[in-house]
Structures are given as structure tokens and as C-alpha cells.
Amino acid sequence: MKKSFTLILILLTTCISAKTIKILEVPSEIGADKRGASLGPRAIEIAAINTNSDFFHQHATTKIEPENQALYLKQTTPYAKNINAFAKVMEKTSTSVAQIMREKNTFLIVIAGDHSTAAGTLAGMKKAFPKQRIGVIWIDAHADLHSPYTTPSGNLQRMPVAIALSEDNHLKKKNKPDSETIVLWEKIKEIGGPNRNIQPSDLVYLTVRDKDPQEEFLMRKYNLKNYPLEDIRGKGIEEVISEILRRLRHCDVIYLSFDVNSMNSPISQGTDTPAANGLTKKEAENLLLGFCASPKVRCLEFAEVNPLLDQQNQMAETIFHMIHAISREVEK
């Protein structure tokens, strides 16, 4: 592992021209089942303060105004909860992402609440690069491929990849969404443009291990590649990174999404949906550092830190350590 990580650091120092880090905070939790993810970005800032770091003072930070007041309202769209408010958050997020991503030599770090906002990030990247292929590396315990037609929960945090793929999965339909949900679902699928924001061939998963049958169907249909933990450890992190970047070699720009539940549940207690058999902290950090060695990776998103479910802010401290380490290398 030491040899592999040394090679990754060599890649970092030789392949990346210095980039300017920009931060986008999206403290939204309307897509989640449990409360508290909207506090994640602030918890990460506090973790920085507690280490005497001026990271958030030194880096330009844009903050999206959330729509969390929707949580107080009566739920009228059970198969896509809070979708009206989510459409507003997604539009605001996509606009800010597009504006930042159009800036030359910018590396965007998105610090989100729940993972549904990743749909807004991808829509923003599509706005910024409408004629380019966007690769996606999705590190998560879940595939997030549900739609209002298939969801068992109605939580939008399990739908962002389906939104980016403009995928309804009617063949596995089990729900009958109301007309308001259908209209808004069609609207959010087109926030990035009239076509898919990403192509299935440009999507790679890591550590997905909690899939519903409807999601498994789509993964087989599109032949979506997932690297389970045993493959990552068996092949080694360096080889997995190399394989994935080769798979995405035809993409012009790459988005990297990291849900903290990709880590093992004893580490990721401070999240809505922890899952066993995940990455260690060091494995997660080495993967992110290795992927960010590619000049094509322009955006990294962290999601699902929930301090209300955590102990002594450990999850936020772990994520800030990763953000700081990655930023140091990207800005060299």
C-alpha cells in the first residue's frame, strides 16, 4: 500500500497544474429521511476551527440558501417528498455550480447536506459543459437509482443518479405518483438541459452494497460497473483508480461524489444511512487523493454528514481532514 500511495502522490505532483479551490455549501436535508444533514457543512467548518485551520477563511465559499422550511409543511407528494422545494434547491445549486465551473483552473468542492443535491451539481456541470462528456465516479453504499415510480421511501436522497440519467424505470414501476410529482419530476430532469446530464457508460460506482431490486435491474440493463470492497482491496487502490480512469478516458470532465456511508459503519455513525463492510478512513482518503490526481476531475462532492447522529463531531472531523489533504495537493 505504501508503494501504491507513493505512486499516487507522484501522479498528483506531476499531472495536476495548480488549481484554485472554490467551496460550495448546500445545507439542505429535504431529501433525507432523518433530520440533521443540513448541519453537516457547518459541523465541518467547526471541525476546521477546532484544528486551528483557517481553511474556510482562505477559500472562497458560496452558500446556497436551503428550503428546509418545507419540512414543516404537510407532505403532499409521498413518492418524492418535498419535491417542490427540492426543485428550487436543485435550480439554485445548478446555477452556482455552472458559474463556478466555467472559471478557468477551478476545482470545486461541494459540501452538501443530504445526497439529493448531487443532482443539482450534475445539472450545473451539464450547464457549464453542455457539449462535453461528464464522467461520474459515485462512491456510496447505495446506487441512488430510484424514481418516484419505484421508490420504497419517497426520499429524494435515493434518486440523484436517476435524475441525472433521466431514468424513470417504468419497467419496474410499483407506485402511481400524483400529477404534481410527475410534473416536477419531469422539470428537475431537465434542469441541466433537455437531454440526460450523464450517459450510463460514463458512470462508475464504488462500494455500492445496499441495492433494491429496481436498482439492480437498472445496473444490469446499463451494465453499470461497481467496485465492491473486496475488489478494491484485492486489486489495490492504485489499480482500481487506473481502471476507472481508463473507463472514463473518453470523458472531458469528471465529477467525484463521496457519500460518507461508503465508509464502514463504525466510522460513519454520523450519517443517515450507515452500512457495514465499507472503506476505512485511510482507504477512502487514498481513493479520493488518487482520483483527484487526474486533471479531468474538476468537482468533488461530500454528502450526508449528520452531526445529530454523530459522537463528538467525529464524522465531520474525518471529512475535514480529507478536504484539507486533497486541497493541499490540488493547489500545489
pLDDT tens-digit readout, 286-295? 999 999 999 9
Is residue 5 over pLDDT 90? no
Q: Look up cell 461520474; give the residue.
A: 136
pLDDT category of residue 15 using cuts at 50, 70 and 90: very low
pLDDT of 192-211, one tens digit each?
Answer: 999 999 999 999 999 999 99
Mean pLDDT of 269-294: 93
Parallel, antiparallel or unpaired: strands 134-139 and 203-206: parallel
* pLDDT attached to residue 172: 98
* pLDDT attached to residue 273: 82
Cα 247 from chain centre: 19
* pLDDT attached to residue 9: 47
Q: Look up cell 424505470; give the residue.
A: 169
Give the integer Cα–Cα distance in Å for 66 and 318: 24
Reduce the DSSP state of residue 8 to 3 states and report it. Answer: helix
Is residue 275 over pLDDT 60? yes
Give the integer Cα–Cα distance in Å for 219 and 223: 6
For 111, list phi and psi in degrees, rounded to 5: -115, 105
Fold held by 2-330: Arginase; Chain A (3.40.800)
pLDDT category of residue 260 using cuts at 50, 70 and 90: very high
Q: Which residue has the higher pLDDT, 149 or 14?
A: 149
Mean pLDDT of 16-20: 73
pLDDT of 46-91, one tens digit each?
Answer: 999 999 999 999 999 999 999 999 999 999 999 999 999 999 999 9
Reduce the DSSP state of residue 63 to 3 states and report it. Answer: strand
Query: First-to-last CA distance in the chain?
Result: 23
For 109, list phi and psi in degrees, rounded to 5: -110, 115
Mean pLDDT of 86-110: 98
pLDDT category of residue 17 using cuts at 50, 70 and 90: low
* pLDDT attached to residue 4: 52
Indicate the pTM of the whole model.
0.94
Mean pLDDT of 305-319: 96
pLDDT category of residue 13 using cuts at 50, 70 and 90: very low
Non-local CB neighbours of 67 within 8 Å, separated by 6+ positions: 28, 30, 82, 85, 86, 88, 89
Averaged pLDDT score across all residues of the chain: 95
